[in-house]
Structures are given as C-alpha cells and as structure tokens.
Amino acid sequence: MKKNNFDNKNSLITPKELKNKLPISQDIKNNILISRQIITNIINGKDPRILIICGPCSIHNFDEAIEYGNLLKNLSLKLKKNIFLVMRVYFEKPRTIIGWKGLINDPYMDHTFDINKGLYLARKLLIKLATKNILLATEILDLNVFNYINDLLSWVAIGARTVESQIHREIVSLINIPAGFKNNTNGDINTAINAIQASAVEHHFISLDQNGKSYIVNTTGNKNCHIILRGGKKPNYYKHNIIKCEKTLLKIGLKSKIMIDCSHGNSNKDYKKQILVIKSIISQIKEGNVSIIGIMIESYINNGNQILDIKNNKKLKYGVSITDGCLDFKSTETVLLQINSELDLILKMRFLKKKNIY
C-alpha cells in the first residue's frame, strides 16, 4: 500500500514572490483603502448609498473579464450618486461534488492544473482592473490563495459551504476588509450570524506568512461584517424573511446589516429571476426598510451559461458564463439604472432614519 494519495508534488511560488513580480502602485493602494472605508461606512449606516457586488459567477477568460470590467466602470459613473458598484471577480468555485474549480486551480480548463499560472493570471487581472479604478470583490475559499490577492480587494465574501468553517472565521477576524457571510445552503441564517460574532473577536491560530512560512497569528477582530441572504431550499429575500433576520440580529445585540444575493437559492437558480428579487428589494426600501445595505448580482457580457467540455474548451461561446447563469450586461444596466432612479430621493430620507437607529 502506498504511503500517500498523491502522484507527485510541484513547487509553488510564494505570495511575496508573486507580489514582487506583479506589484501594485501607491495610487492603487490608496484607492483600495478608500473604497474599503466607503464600504465600511455603507455597512454601518454612515453612507446612504447601496453597495452592489456585480459580476460573473466565475472568471474563466482574461480578455472577457477586462471587457466586462470596462462596461461596469462606465456604468458606475452614471450610478455613483446612489450606488457603490464593485465588480465580482471570483477565481475559485466550491463544488457540491466535482467540477471545474476555477481559473486559479485550472486556468487552461484542460485538467493540467497549472496553479502557478492561475495565481499569476488572477493577480495580473486584478491589477489590470484596479489600474482602471475598478473596485474588486471575491470569495475567500482556499486560505492559501487569499494571500496572493488580498491587497487588491475592497470586499470579500465567505460562501454558504464554508460559513461554518472555523479557519475562515479566523481569517476574516484578521483582515481589514469588509466581509459578508452567506447563510448556509439549507437556508439557515444562524450559521452566518454565528460567523459574524466569531469574526468580530480576537483569535490565535496557525497560518502562513507571505514567504509561505508557518507562524502564529494573533488577531483583533473584524467589526465590519454583515449577513448575506442567498436563499436555501427556498428564497429568503421576501419582506417576512428580512424582518425575521432583523429580529434575530437584534436579539443578540447585532445591528441589522443585510445584503441580498439575487442569485442561487433566491432565484431558484434561474438567472432571469434575479430581476424579480431586485424589484422586491426596491419595493421593500420604498416601504421603509433600512436594514438592506447591499445587493449581489450574477451578471456577464451575454446571458445564460454554457457547459464546459474539457476536450473542446476552445469552442466556448464568447462572454457566456461556464458556471451559473448570468444576466447579460444590457439587462444589468437597465435594472441598475432603475435602482438608481427609483431610490434617488428615498435613500436620502432613509439615511436620516438610519442615523437615528445607528
């Protein structure tokens, strides 16, 4: 019997080495710090705008991602009064069973698993987007990967499959980045609420530094976290779901800071239904809701999705997701302009109301 279940091992570039190869300018650093503070202010009721995390389910094509980023940047200029727009740039995909795990794990989508190349492409893409003043968000999945790109992110998410993970909560307690925790895949919001509480306090654990060396981490806690309602066995974006979430948070002394994921369980995995979720959110805010601070939307250049065939990966349709279905950009633009228009005056009054609460 063999001693270990692996065929070979390959050397991996360290975070410090990659960051030295692909450094970021002081202007980018400053812009990211400012954006983190703005998002923190939105979360804590000190900025009237709505935070919107918008982009493809996953990144699989460098040039397409740049094109989408340019479209989103141009749109953000029209929305900046009422919406703080951040591009969703997800390089890792947690799989329920098996499947393509993302650009970093398998950048060529051919089972060659050139992770060094994947890390390089991911960081290069983020820098390219950040140079254009496009703000960026991702999910923390592999904690080792996070060290390679953490300095380029304005906001992060902990997903439904990892929300109960102790080490993910510990990492969030370490970072000075606003973070959202999704309810788990069954729809239980308590998993996310527990994670918010855990991440707000200090932790002591073993991690890897920028040189890939183990060290003991002592954190002070991250107070800038919020829940993301993503649905479960059924949607949880309706008014009664929001009220229940507010009451649960209030009961344990947490302020109501809620983001709605318009996809996944809330859309019953039908990308077109994201529009219905957004319309419900608009209505709830018009009716006086003050707890919804943000929205997540899965959006790309063209609508829908396509199946990745590893043997024919060169025949993919341009601008179409290879994971979850996405809204096309034209539809995305229409609905975001609708949010901006319909909530224009309401957000000001809502802000004054929130100031009294917070």
CATH number at residue 264: 3.20.20.70
Q: Is residue 294 part of a domain?
A: yes
Contact call for residues 223 and 258 (beta carbons, < 8 A)? no
Strands 258-261 vs 292-298: parallel, antiparallel or unpaired: parallel
Q: Identity (one letter) of the amino acid at 60?
A: H
For the record, the structure tokens of 149 come out as 């790109």
Task: Give the DSSP letter of residue 265.
Answer: G
- pTM summary value: 0.96
**H/E stretch holding 208:** strand 204-208
pLDDT at 2: 60
Q: Measured between alpha carbons, how far is 108 from 110 in angstroms, rounded to an integer?
A: 5
Q: Which residues of the chain have pLDDT under 50?
A: none
pLDDT at 352: 84
**Cα-Cα end-to-end distance for the chain:** 62
Q: Measured between alpha carbons, how far is 88 from 137 in angstroms, rounded to an integer?
A: 5
Domain that holds residue 137: 15-357
pLDDT at 304: 98
Closest CA to 180 of 164, 195, 201: 195
pLDDT at 356: 64
Q: Is residue 148 part of a domain?
A: yes
Q: Is residue 10 part of a domain?
A: no
Closest CA to 152 of 174, 116, 171, 177: 177
| CB-facing half-sphere around the CA of 292: CA atoms within 13 A | 30
Q: Measured between alpha carbons, how far is 70 from 274 in angstroms, rounded to an integer?
A: 22
pLDDT at 252: 96
Q: Is residue 255 part of a domain?
A: yes
Domain count, the chain: 1
Q: Is residue 128 part of a domain?
A: yes
Q: Is residue 4 part of a domain?
A: no
Q: Measured between alpha carbons, how far is 313 from 100 in angstroms, rounded to an integer?
A: 12
Give Cα separations from 57 to 93, 123, 140, 178, 286 (angstroms).
9, 18, 14, 20, 29
Q: Is residue 5 part of a domain?
A: no
Q: Measured between alpha carbons, how far is 94 from 170 in angstroms, rounded to an integer?
A: 19
Q: Is residue 58 part of a domain?
A: yes
In the chain, alpha helices (H): 15-21, 26-43, 62-79, 115-131, 143-149, 166-174, 190-199, 239-251, 274-286, 329-342, 344-357
